[in-house]
Amino acid sequence: MTVPVPSSASLDVPRHAASDTSDTSSTNDGGDDGWEDVEPEDESQSIIGLFSDDIYPDVRSLLKDTKERYSFDLAKVQKDLELDFFGTVKLINYIRSEVKKGVQKPDVSSRSLFDDDVYLKPVIEDDALLYNLDDIALDDDGLQSENHRKTDTEAQLREVQEELCRLQEQFSNYRLAVQQSLNVQLSNDDDDPPQPTNVDRNDARRSITEEVDSDYFKSYSYNAIHESMLKDTVRTDAYRDFIYDHKGLFKGKTVLDVGCGTGILSMFCAKAGAKKVIAVDNSSIIEKARVNVFANGFGDVITCIRGKIEEIKLPVPQVDIIVSEWMGYGLLFEAMLDSVIWARDRYLAPGGLMVPSHATLRIAPFADPDFVDSHVSFWRNVYGFDMSSMLESVHNEAIIAGTKTSSVVGDSAVFLQLPLHTITVEELNFLKTFELTIAHDVPRLDGWLIWFDIFFLTSPTAKLKNGALPWELRKEGLVAFTTGPFGPETHWQQCVLLIQPEGEKPVPLQKGQVIRGQIGYQKKKKDARALDIEVRWSIDDCSSSRHQTWSLQ
């Protein structure tokens, strides 16, 4: 997970179920304001064919002709693939895009062929078929169910279109905002004047911690962060593939989803056959998750609960499986793993399964002059102005960015293994050793690169081989992924630690030189979500060593 925080103007305004706002039978005493976009139903709206430019007066005519002329039964495909509203939208846009390419018989054997969100975007502007999806599944007598009115379909489609119009830049703005918010809160904590008593001092610190926590959970109330995570196919596909490929592990089981967000992982588990899923989140996103759960027919399986896992009471004494997407930048930023471990120790039954089961942290030597120029030299000339004052802490702040494989100038080393079934919170503050070998000559060492790998093993007793690589396990049919530069980019990207230069002349490194050192993670405060990352290192056992600390916040 990541931590964007939206602007204060939009705080605490969760969107609720569509049924709360879309009753078109009610009157509007305030006049016509707010209803400009609602157009009267046009029963004679023409519909363009799927495989031709032919025009049809209604959906039934299109379905009949398409079946007879092109041997394609749209209603049957929808039913066989168990497509919901969004799935049907994707199917139609997929078919139209394939036909546009010249494919006369698009392959619709699996929903995975058109599961990409790109197919939510209409191929034809104002496609009337998309506004009449409920007509595809008519009762035998040709009458529609009262639960599937056209106005609901239009409202859903408008919502899809609104989501497609959101700018990706919003995610970056949110992330910057939360960093600034955490900085202010933690700075206030450090600068607090002495309090009259220990009780008052503890109350003040507790209040600040609660405010930081409040900002953290509010940040997950907004669509942009969840959109970013769901569109991270490396992340989401891994969870989906593990759950669907191992339905035997989930069938008839009770599952706890810690930090459920939109409810996607809970619904994966329910569809895989879980008997009961308890979805927990302390953000108001839980309200949308509830709507998602019921909209997809899982209301009798999934129970959504709002609150911190440490403070709520589950409706069951134990669970068989805990699933959670708890990972932050540099793996441990946000400290959400603390809550997952608490849930494991409190609720997971003996022999229960953690999903994912293992994580590893890696470090590698980093050299990239262009990257340094874009983040350091940049400040010396900004539109012709000298802004060198911004360089004051530039080498003390961890940078989250996607990096090139060529910037990794040596082998990587695992410095921490996290077996999720046994790891403790105390082990998340650490100082570990590492050893790296330079792969080729470089003019200087610019910094360190940190990333993590995630593994989904099927047994609580399964051991992860030391130094295991995700692509090696995938060859064995297991599910795993990397957030490093050698794999597809994820929303976590990598953590870059730029080294403060020493002296005026850079020190070149040669192929084969060995770097030995220690790396440590330390929470800034006991209950903080930010981290300090410390690295100590020396080259070729040189008597002089270097030491630097970076903040990830």
The residues carrying an active-site annotation are 325, 334
- Helices 198-219, 169-190: axis angle to 10 degrees equals 180
Both tokens of 9, joined, read 């103007």
Say if residues 256 and 321 touch (Cβ distance below 8 Å): yes
Beta strands 319-323; 348-355: pairing state: parallel
Half-sphere exposure of residue 19: CA atoms within 13 angstroms, side-chain side: 9
Rounded CA separation 317/348 (Å): 9
**Is residue 102 left, alpha or beta, with left meaning phi > 0 and alpha meaning psi from -120 to 50?**
left
Beta strands 494-498; 413-419: pairing state: unpaired
Both tokens of 252, joined, read 């008839």
Rounded CA separation 391/298 (Å): 53
Beta strands 254-258; 276-281: pairing state: parallel
DSSP summary character for residue 229? H
Nearest to 17 by CA among 305, 307, 286, 303: 286
Rounded CA separation 358/461 (Å): 11
Nearest to 339 by CA among 315, 307, 302, 362: 307
Angle at CA of residue 44, ends 38 and 48, nearest 5°: 95
What's the burial of 460, exposed, middle or buried (CB within 10 Å: 0-12/13-18/19+)? middle
Instruction: Collapse the DSSP code of 240 into the 3-class scheme (helix H, G, I; strand E, B; otherwise coil) and give the result.
Output: helix
- Helices 150-164, 85-100: axis angle to 10 degrees equals 70
Rounded CA separation 52/409 (Å): 55
Half-sphere exposure of residue 489: CA atoms within 13 angstroms, side-chain side: 11
User: What HEC string does 278-338 produce?
Assistant: EEEECCCHHHHHHHHHHHCCCCCCEEEEECCCCCCCCCCCCEEEEECCCCECCECCCCHHH
What's the burial of 245, exposed, middle or buried (CB within 10 Å: 0-12/13-18/19+)? middle
Rounded CA separation 276/316 (Å): 10
What number of residues does the chain have? 553
β-partners of residue 494 are: 401
CA distances from 292 to 135, 220, 250 (A): 23, 16, 21
